[in-house]
Amino acid sequence: MSTATGETKRVTTHSIQAMKNRGEKIAMLTAYDYSTACILDEAGVDILLVGDSASNVMAGHETTLPITLDQMIYHAQSVVRAVKRSMVVVDLPFGSYQSNSEIALSSAIRIMKESGAHAVKLEGGEEVEESIRRILRAGIPVMGHLGLTPQSIYKFGTYSVRAKEDAEAQKLRDDAILLDNLGCFSLVLEKIPATLAKEVSESIDIPTIGIGAGKHCDGQVLVTQDMLGITKAFKPRFLRRYLELFDMIGDATRQYIADVKSTNFPNDQEQY
Ligand code: KIV
C-alpha cells in the first residue's frame, strides 16, 4: 500500500484491472461524507462509491430519483477530501445524462472538476451508449451499472431480481460486452442470478462488481450503512451485516441521556 518514499499508492483504473487479471477480488463500499470516508479509506477499501443511494440513506427519500447533481457534487467533495488511497467513483444522478450526450458530458465534467473524484458511474447499456462514448472521449473513466438499475424503478415496478427471463438476460449479456468494448473500466451488476453474473464476468475483460449478484463477480459492493446495520429495516438476502450500529448507537444515546439527566455527565475531569 505504501511506496518507498512513504507515500500511499492510490488505487487507479489500472490497478483495478490488474486485480481482476491476477484474481484478486475488489472491495467497494459507498461513502457520502468525510468522517465515514476517512475510516473506510484507512481500512483499505479499494473503491469508494459516492452512490446516488445517498438519496435514500442520507436524505430519506424513497428512491434515488430526487437527488440532484449539485447534491452529488457536495457529497463527492466531502469524500474526496478524506481519501488517501481509495479510488472515488461518483454516480451521475437521474436526469443528468439520459436526455442527450452533451448534457451527460457536462454533468460528468462538473463532477470531476468540482469534486476532484476519479471516475463516474451511470446506469444502463445501449440506451446510454452515446453518453458513455462522449464522456470517455473526454478522458473521464466510466463505471457501468446493469441489472437492477434503481433509477428505472418506476419502469421495473419492484426491486426484485432482474434478468431471470431469457430476453432480459440476453440484453444484459449484450450490454455488458458493449460497455467493455466502449472502454468502461468496470461494471456493477446489481441483483441478478449468480450464474448469469458468473457468465458475464468470464465473458468480458473489465472487472464486474456485484451487489446481490453472487460470489463469481470480480468484486463486491455494499451500501456502507446497510453493511454496518444503521439501516435496520433493510434486510435483503444478499446483505451481510458486520455490525448492528442502529442498536449500538441507540444504546450509547440512551446512556448519554441518562448521564445528562442524572448529572453524571460531565464529571470533574470533563470540565475546565
Ligand atoms: O448508489 C449506489 O449505492 C449504488 C450501489 C448499490 C452499486 O449504485
Instruction: Give the pLDDT confidence score for residue 117 in this predicted structure.
Output: 98
* Catalytically annotated residues: 190
Instruction: Give the pLDDT confidence score for residue 228 in this predicted structure.
Output: 98
pLDDT at 2 over 70: no
Per residue in 176-185, pLDDT tens?
Answer: 999 999 999 9
The secondary structure of 184-248 as a DSSP string is -SEEEEES--HHHHHHHHHH-SSPEEEESS-TTSSEEEE-HHHHTT-STT---TT---S--HHHH
Q: How confident is the model at residue 1 (pLDDT cuts 50, 70, 90)?
A: low
The pLDDT mean for the chain works out to: 97
pLDDT at 6 over 70: no
pLDDT at 57 over 60: yes
- For residue 53, how far is its CA from the centre of ligand 1 (angstroms)? 6
Per residue in 237-268, pLDDT tens?
Answer: 999 999 999 999 999 999 999 999 999 999 99
Cell of residue 43, nine digits? 481500512
The predicted model gives 145-165 an average pLDDT of: 96
Q: How confident is the model at residue 8 (pLDDT cuts 50, 70, 90)?
A: confident
Instruction: Give the pLDDT confidence score for residue 3 in this predicted structure.
Output: 56
Mutate which of 91, 94, 111, 120 for ligand 1 pocket (most atoms within 8 A of beta carbon): 91
List the residue whose alpha carbon is closest to atom 4 of ligand 1: 51
Tell me which of 158 and 5 has the higher pLDDT: 158
Q: Which amino acid is at 53?
A: S
Per residue in 10-42, pLDDT tens?
Answer: 999 999 999 999 999 999 999 999 999 999 999
* CATH 3.20.20.60 in the chain, residue ranges: 13-241
Per residue in 87-124, pLDDT tens?
Answer: 999 999 999 999 999 999 999 999 999 999 999 999 99
- Closest ligand 1 atom number to CA of residue 123: 8
Residue 264: which of 272, 255, 168, 61 has the closest Cα?
Answer: 255
CATH class of 13-241: alpha beta
The predicted model gives 55-59 an average pLDDT of: 98
Residue 114 and residue 141 in contact, taking contact as beta carbons nearer than 8 Å: no
Mutate which of 33, 49, 63, 238 for ligand 1 pocket (most atoms within 8 A of beta carbon): 49
What pTM does this model have? Answer: 0.96
Residue 104: which of 123, 117, 77 has the closest Cα?
Answer: 123
